[in-house]
Chains A and B, each alone.
Chain A
Amino acid sequence: EDQVTQSPEALRLQEGESSSLNCSYTVSGLRGLFWYRQDPGKGPEFLFTLYSAGEEKEKERLKATLTKKESFLHITAPKPEDSATYLCAVYGGATNKLIFGTGTLLAVQP
């Protein structure tokens, strides 16, 4: 069964304290892995898409990486405005649909 698991469920960081969020997946024939940011009460905002193992993408303090089994979202020197829920989703497998994880709630304290 196609599945996406994100960890940790919640993460609290001090401003400037770097860390990583994990997205592990099981899907046959990955055709894309997507990271989104979601603020409370709003729709998800697209951040990155990765298509093959070894690929990396960067945007400001965020860097996404991909292996054959998981993806990491690295946050370098986070600021309070980085606080949000980060969602991971994969496309591929038998269902041909986007499968979402339950997200990681990140809180960055000043």
Chain B
Amino acid sequence: DGGITQSPKYLFRKEGQNVTLSCEQNLNHDAMYWYRQDPGQGLRLIYYSQIVNDFQKGDIAEGYSVSREKKESFPLTVTSAQKNPTAFYLCASSIDPQGGTKNIQYFGAGTRLSVL
């Protein structure tokens, strides 16, 4: 089955710890995205990547880092600099981010991150 796999489903972070959220897609999509979802707020873009070895900051990139070494994979690291990391994190992908029918974003099942 084609799709986007996020892992783990639940993650706990200790004070001062960096944690990495995994996102893998087998849809052969060029573009991948990371969003953060908090209660009562719309999805907010953290980082996105349009091509391997390239990525751009979204609206709330501070305290996060990403890499895009393979087309299929776009891991997100939540660093200790992110002081309020508790949220639901969503990964998405699209064929082409430039517009039209090719920029429909498909989402994974999400990772819920909590602070211990």
Residues of A66-110 contacting chain B, CB below 8 A? 87, 89, 91-92, 97-103
Q: Of B44, B45, B104, B108, which one neighbours A49 at CB under 8 angstroms?
A: B104
A101 CA to B37 CA in the complex, in Å? 11
Question: How distant is B73 from chain A, measured CB to nearest CB, in Å?
Answer: 17
Binary interface profile of B, 63-96, with partner A (CB < 8 Å = 1, else 0)?
0000000000000000000000000001010000
A103 CA to B40 CA in the complex, in Å? 8
Q: Are B103 and A43 in touch, CB under 8 angstroms?
A: no
What range describes how many residues of B lie at the interface?
A: 20 to 34
Q: Are B43 and A100 in touch, CB under 8 angstroms?
A: yes
Question: How distant is B2 from chain A, measured CB to nearest CB, in Å?
Answer: 13
Given contacts A49-B104, A97-B58, A102-B40, contact A42 B99 (CB under 8 A): no
Name the residue of chain B whose CB is nearest to the CB of A31: B99
A44 at the interface (CB under 8 A from B): yes
Question: How distant is A99 from chain B, measured CB to nearest CB, in Å?
Answer: 7
Name the residue of chain B whose CB is nearest to the CB of A101: B42
Q: Are A91 and B45 in touch, CB under 8 angstroms?
A: no
The interface residues of chain A lying within 8 Å CB-to-CB of B90 are: 43-44
A92 CA to B39 CA in the complex, in Å? 25
What are the 5 tightest A-B residue pairs by CB atom distance, in nearest-first order? Answer: A43-B107, A100-B42, A100-B43, A31-B99, A44-B107
Name A residues whose Cβ lies closer than 8 Å to a Cβ of B.
Answer: 4, 31-32, 34, 36, 41-46, 49, 51, 87, 89, 91-92, 97-103
**Can you give 16 contacting A-B residue pairs, CB < 8 Å?**
A31-B103, A32-B100, A42-B109, A43-B108, A44-B43, A45-B107, A46-B106, A49-B104, A51-B100, A87-B42, A91-B103, A97-B48, A100-B43, A101-B42, A102-B40, A103-B42
